[in-house]
Structure 1
């Protein structure tokens, strides 16, 4: 039964019998037979089909909710049993918004320092696709914005608040500034993330609030491409501070804070809402909270030192 439910979930995800079969590593006739057997077992028609996949029946829509829950529960049961045998082990699949890839790496490294028997697959994606992947059980967790656009019913642990910086060449007219305003970028040729990225929507809102219409010369879904374009293409870009510092290290580029940002949008770990989480996933949520507390403490210490007389 679990195998047939996984076939059903894959078919809904791919919306094509051939692609769903390929994703599962089985033949299309095997998939079609499995779906029919599931329908016979449940006593209802789940899938509209003619010459091709035609969507779900009303019964299929309700069955999909149960299928995801049952398959998810079965996977959690396997993880629980493995934990009793082997302790924390296994493999975590994490999807991450592009601007948080350095945070994902830090989280994985800190987690592996305490739990070396857990492996990771980390992939970059949009915040919208990340939520779809969670829903389809394609990933175990994600790192995304927590407070800007609706997340649905998820568990979460904040990692940090995003603050933005201008990235420009050392010879750029703004390179000697200690900080800049959004309005200072009004006449600049910009390289920015594509509009399907939530980061771009946040930056567009910041420019709009400043009364600026940005001049975007290049768009990409890769932060590496943006920094390369600054280095070789004569543009500037806007990135969160952490990934900006990482990508520009040793490259002759300047990272300059942008003023008037408020408290910044929260970025953190998100996971399907479960009770309870698997031991591995709960340990990951706990690690995210620990790293956030550590970073917050470091910032308070830095602020206190900066406020001392004579500083």
Structure 2
């Protein structure tokens, strides 16, 4: 049984939230992961409105939206204060919800239009250096089924720069085509169902082949209805994003890395190492699937900062 949303039967968002989510799914074609993030933000907004006994969308005012920002930041009630990035994201969700309500004729006034989203300082992505990545990739024990799966996952993440959700949704057929014709590249389905093709290096191909030949058949037999997923868990089901994150944490611990590591760390490392090696920023943009080169250019800031550190550490008159 699926859990009822806090706005499903009554409350201020009962009309608007379902309509907006349907709009995002049907007309905008947003991914399930993005929709889940919006739902989480809406649940917080519904909780806040219910706590203030606001049960009608038309009764929400600008002060209420501003109060929601304060409520998130200070952690009123039985909740912890949210990080600035989380507060900003929730406010963007609420602003988009109210704008949709006006555009769709569900409200007469956009009460969130003048509420400013707090500006965040530029956060440079944290990339691992080449030695750290090598230690991470070498961590899984390739003599075990789990190790074969984990090494295939890690090599795919670092070798393609893909998002973890893009790797987890790959099917066996997606890889067998590439293994048969490496020059064709690997097709990935990114945000907004945008497809891109990325090269697949020899290390990733070897890790995937080892998993397909010596690992996956073992766990496939454990499944009553084996599906097409490339990466499986021990029950023969598709590996989830959450489980992939745990694989990264375990590999980092085995490698003795004392830095925070996530699937996105390998994506950041992929981009940073390409730029360090002389790749053009627009090539990296295509490989990452960024719609705007501006998003990719933040990695050039990382490499410039790295150059500055090397200069300060190495040049006798740098300081």
Give 1 or 2: higher helix fraction.
2
Question: Which has more strand, going by share of residues?
Answer: 1
TM-score (norm 2): 0.28
Q: What TM-score do the two structures reach when normalised by structure 1?
A: 0.28
Q: Higher relative contact order by CA 8 Å / sep ≥ 6: 1 or 2?
A: 1
